[in-house]
Amino acid sequence: MSDLPLRAVTRTAKLAALPLGFAGRTALGLGKKTIGRSAEAVANEIQTRTAEQLFKVLGELKGGAMKFGQVLSIFEAALPPEIAGPYRATLTKLQESAPPMPVATVHRVLAENLGPDWRENFRSFNDKPAAAASIGQVHKAVWKDGREVAVKVQYPGAGKALISDFNQLARVGKLVGVLFPGADIRSILDELKHRVREELDYTVEAASQSAFAKAYADDPDFLVPEVVAQSGTVLVTEWIYGIPLAKIITDGTQEQRDRAGLLFARFLFSAPPRCGHLHADPHPGNFRLMEDGRLGVIDFGAVDRLEGGMQEEIGTLMRIGALGDPAEIVAACRAEGIIRDGVEVDAAALAAFIEPLAVPMRADTFKFSREWLRDQAARVTDLRPDNVVRYLNLPNDYVLVHRTIGLGTGVLCQLECEGPFRAEAIRWVKGFAPGEPTGEDAATSGPAPED
């Protein structure tokens, strides 16, 4: 634990200070309201100051705090412009960077996992990290066979720090709710806490990445780097270049945005039927637009294994959601057995829950935008899955899949891209368009939709 950039007592103090700061700002706001300021102006000021403190503290921490911040950063597109603007750069930085480990610590971890003669595995090794994530950092090196590689080194004590952070972050739910009132923060934290146990095991990550690399080998649209070696808390994979999606979000041309967005959606849709896995961490730091037009995908620590691809019930729900009319949605759900006999649901709530997932699939092309996402967030006051989904007859994987698609939608809105996303759903999601070839069948049924 002492090897982490901030000691436990410091980390805990910073996290604990967040709700205290919020309480102070709320009291200040109430005081200003009494002297004539409008409630809207006070609320905006509280949101702005809350965002400043929250992102500043999360950006200084690793472990669970940084991972939580990465998830929140994807929702950035739903924030009001006056709040989102000043912090967009901070959020992008949070997605891809963090203070590095001391070089001596890196060398010690490599020796403990690859052996005292670890340098013999490399022709060269750059001590300066190329990137940092929530539980480890990446170094660029040249493997002994001449391949450029990424060496992922886990922070000593990362597991203990992560659990500690999640326990502390549970105390700031009210604070985060000020910025993201539609997000189920407790559910997000619970899911992250569960998933991170797998992420700490690089053996699992190596197996997942190998499965993706095999499924997408020689693919004209995607590049998944091969696993070169794995031992303990060290993972070595092929190095890939390309423009980070975060860079395209801030500086990309519309052509780059559209290309990256279409491939991003295609990857999320196609992975379950092609390799039985779902990439469950779709934040911009894990994707690169290559010079040859392919989308490079990295970091397979958060992966869900889905039997039978994207379950037919999920595709059916997407198709039904595209109907638009709440009464028709409920009737179709009953006809498909998604709502069982004798179970009553709020039609408007169900339609609102499905809307962000279904709207982009109604027309041949759709334009994702921050404005559209803000409108969805403002119109739907409660997007928490456990409020509606608990009444539906859906597979256990549905909540994770819905959350992943929701996060992916946030990225597409950050890209502000336009494309034929309905065709991608028809091609890959079983149940979305009955009678159409999907999944593995689609791969042999003719060319992909025009990009």
Pairing of strands 287-289, 243-244: antiparallel
Pairing of strands 122-125, 418-419: unpaired
**CB environment 4-42: b (16+ within 10 A), e (fewer):** bbbeeeebeebbeebeebbeebbeebeeeeeeeeeeeeb
User: How many Å apart are CA 90 and CA 72, to the nearest integer?
Assistant: 12
Which residue type, as a one-letter code, is found at position 240? Answer: I
Q: Does residue 281 have an active-site annotation?
A: yes
Which residue type, as a one-letter code, is found at position 282? Answer: P
Displacement of CA 169 from its chain's centroid (Å)? 18
User: How many Å apart are CA 273 and CA 275, to the nearest integer?
Assistant: 6
Catalytic, out of 281, 299, 304, 397:
281
User: How many Å apart are CA 115 and CA 112, to the nearest integer?
Assistant: 6
CB-CB contact of 268 with 164 (8 Å) = no
Least Cα distance to 279 among 234, 229, 226, 213 occurs for: 213
60: Cβ–Cβ under 8 A, 6 or more apart, which residues? 6, 14, 99
416: left (phi over 0), alpha (psi -120 to 50) or beta: left
Active site amino acids: 281
